[in-house]
């Protein structure tokens, strides 16, 4: 009986001690923020949103530069392919014309049997010429499409850079204002990477876009 009595007594004492502590904790959690604390939270949120805007604009700017660079590389590659394919096409035409002329010359002095054989060779020559021409023409068409795609990418990249540059300037201005507001209400605040973020990486590019004529002989 004494053991049960002491057990109940311990439980009751525990409840008496625990209950006030729980109530005090709840009261502490439910305590409303002061006006200064609310203001600090609002300004801190403004700084975070401004930093996020700066990050997005910088990523867009990087994407724009990559698109422009890819377009310029496409122009270089496609020009080289165009010159190569057109040179090959010119050589195919010359070889066909020379072989055709030689067979026609032989036809004039050939007998009937030889003429039939020469006609067959001429048909084979024409077939081979058409196949070679079609293959090189496809290469030329593909290179021209790549060239046009490169020009388009350069134009898109430059336009995107212009737009993202304006976004970055606006975002950096908002971040600077938010940081100043934070310093007024909390002079000890040290925004992350503040000195770095206030420096814009955006600079207007004056270099050529590389979109010259297609190939040297077009």
* pLDDT tens-place string over residues 156-188: 999 999 999 999 999 999 999 989 988 888 776
**Average pLDDT, rounded, for the chain:** 80
* pLDDT tens-place string over residues 94-113: 999 999 999 999 988 888 88
* pLDDT tens-place string over residues 138-148: 999 999 999 99
SS3 of residue 47 by DSSP: helix
Phi and psi based region of residue 215 (left: phi greater than 0; alpha: psi -120 to 50; beta: remaining): left
- The mean per-residue pLDDT over the stretch 190-198 comes to 43
* pLDDT tens-place string over residues 56-83: 999 999 999 999 999 999 999 999 999 9
* pLDDT tens-place string over residues 18-50: 444 444 445 555 578 787 888 888 888 989 999
Residue 79 near residue 141 (C-beta atoms within 8 A):
no
Closest C-alpha to 53, from 187, 200, 207: 200
Domains of the chain: 2-27+45-197 (1.10.287.620)
pTM, 2 dp: 0.62
- The mean per-residue pLDDT over the stretch 179-204 comes to 59
């Amino acid at each position: 009986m004494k053991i049960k009595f002491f057990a109940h007594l311990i439980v009751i004492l525990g409840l008496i001690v625990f209950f006030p502590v729980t109530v005090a904790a709840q009261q502490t959690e439910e305590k409303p923020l002061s006006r200064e604390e609310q203001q600090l939270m609002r300004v801190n949120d403004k700084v975070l949103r401004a930093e996020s805007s700066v990050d997005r604009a910088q990523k867009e700017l990087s994407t724009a530069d990559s698109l422009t660079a890819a377009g310029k590389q496409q122009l270089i590659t496609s020009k080289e392919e165009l010159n190569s394919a057109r040179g090959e096409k010119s050589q195919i035409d010359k070889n066909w014309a020379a072989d055709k002329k030689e067979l026609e010359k032989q036809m004039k002095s050939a007998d009937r049997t030889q003429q039939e054989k020469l006609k067959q060779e001429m048909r084979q020559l024409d077939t081979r010429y058409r196949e070679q021409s079609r293959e090189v023409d496809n290469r030329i068409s593909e290179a021209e499409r790549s060239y046009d795609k490169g020009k388009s990418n350069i134009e898109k990249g430059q336009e995107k850079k212009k737009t993202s540059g304006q976004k970055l300037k606006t975002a950096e201005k908002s971040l600077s204002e938010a940081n100043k507001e934070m310093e007024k209400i909390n002079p000890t605040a040290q925004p992350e990477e503040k000195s770095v973020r206030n420096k814009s990486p955006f600079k207007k590019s004056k270099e050529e876009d590389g979109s010259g004529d297609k190939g040297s002989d077009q």
